[in-house]
Amino acid sequence: MEIETSQDNGPKSTGWRGSREIWLDAAKAAFLENGIDAVKIQPLATQLNLSRTSFYWFFKDRAAILAALLEEWEEKNTGGIATACEAYADSVAEAMLNVIGVFLEEERFEPRFDFAIRGWAHQSSAVMARVAAADELRLAAIRSVFERFAFDPGEADVRARTIYLVQIGYISMQIEEPLALRMERIPAYVKTFCGHAPTQNELARFHARHGFQPPTGAMPY
């Protein structure tokens, strides 16, 4: 394939085509900001100051980059929950802290990405099916935590649904909650979810992992 040239001194004139990651990042940014209809090849090329044909070095067509967005979402958000559920815990309460913690770290789980994908699902039955499959995988992962601590399968299922649907509610309602307030509520959430309150040491480790320092004068764990 011949390298395109242009009269300017930008990337087009050098023949630089970008990279798969650059194109995918731009598509994701457009998707999160304006929805799936904003993910189109020419506007992305213009934004990146690259030729439209550069896109085809990395993706067969628009459908391919949309598929890549779905795969990234599954790997990051569903994978993040699964990894958290597999993390070591001395008690079921500490295991609940592991699960809750994944929703506090955007590098492990992106709420906006989940929200956008769920919005897309209303326009596509195929995407809706992928979302339903991801929900089942996530629920199974959380359910396995309770089963690991000898909860009855039926109870494990209900408790897993309680945790997960609360978190999805946070995302769907786009709740913006100050970290200090979220942290203040977490011990009660843990007790509600599993029937056991976290110990002082478990909460201290949890706070340290998330770089949180309880305010002076805060109620003891």
pLDDT (tens place) for every residue of the chain, 221 residues total? 333 333 344 455 445 788 999 999 999 999 999 999 999 999 999 999 999 999 999 999 999 999 999 999 999 999 999 999 999 999 999 999 999 999 999 999 999 999 999 999 999 999 999 999 999 999 999 999 999 999 999 999 999 999 999 999 999 999 988 999 999 999 999 999 999 999 999 999 999 999 999 887 555 44
CB 77 within 8 A of CB 114: yes
- CB contact at 8 A, 43 and 31: no
Q: Give the pLDDT of residue 18.
A: 85
pLDDT at 75: 97
pTM for this prediction:
0.87
Looking at residue 219, what is its pLDDT?
53
- The number of residues in the chain equals 221
Task: Provide the H-helix boundaries in 103-199.
Answer: 111-121, 125-148, 153-172, 179-194
Give the Cα separation of 154 and 105 in Å (integer). 30
100 contacts: CB under 8 Å, gap ≥ 6: 163, 186, 189, 190
- Side-chain half-sphere CA neighbours of 92 within 13 A: 22
Query: Residue with structure tokens 């396995």?
Result: 144
The alpha helices in 35-152, defined as continuous H runs, are 41-48, 62-73, 79-86, 92-102, 111-121, 125-148
The CATH number corresponding to 14-59 among 1.10.10, 2.30.30, 3.40.50, 3.30.2310 equals 1.10.10
Q: Is 13:6 a contact under the CB 8 Å cutoff?
A: yes
Q: What is the pLDDT of residue 218?
A: 58
Cβ(200)–Cβ(220) under 8 Å?
A: yes
pLDDT score for 217: 58
What does the angle CA 161 – CA 148 – CA 185 come to, to the nearest 5 degrees?
A: 50
* pLDDT at residue number 15: 55
C-alpha span between 186 and 70 (Å, rounded): 30
